[in-house]
Amino acid sequence: MAIVTCPACGAQTSDLSSHCAECNQALQPSIVAPIRKISGKLTALGVVIIALGVIGTALGTWWGPAALLPGVAFYMMAKFL
């Protein structure tokens, strides 16, 4: 737990509270690390590519099996970030 300063009134407030105790101003939420956002996007991209590869393989297209490897690569890359 840390103490933050309210941008509106300058009062000292806990970082766990969502509003200032003095002026009831909404405090900014803590910033999530960008790598977590990228990881979620890569996971979603990997799942979509794998699904397209499975559908393409089931339909007998040439690109179906070729899409499976990049899909698995994106999915696994997101898990290790």
DSSP 22-55: TT-PBPPPPPPPHHHHHHHHHHHHHHHHHHHHHH
pLDDT at 1 over 70: no
Question: What is the Cα–Cα distance from 56 to 68, expressed in whole angstroms?
Answer: 10
- The pTM is what? 0.53
Question: What is the Cα–Cα distance from 45 to 33, expressed in whole angstroms?
Answer: 19
- According to the model, what pLDDT value does residue 36 have? 60
Cβ-based neighbours of 28, under 8 Å, separated by 6 or more:
7
- According to the model, what pLDDT value does residue 26 have? 82
For residue range 13-63, list pLDDT tens digits in order.
Answer: 887 777 888 888 887 765 555 556 778 888 889 999 999 999 999 999 888
- According to the model, what pLDDT value does residue 15 have? 77
Per-domain residue ranges for the chain? 1-30, 32-81
> What Rg, from alpha-carbon coordinates, does the chain have?
22
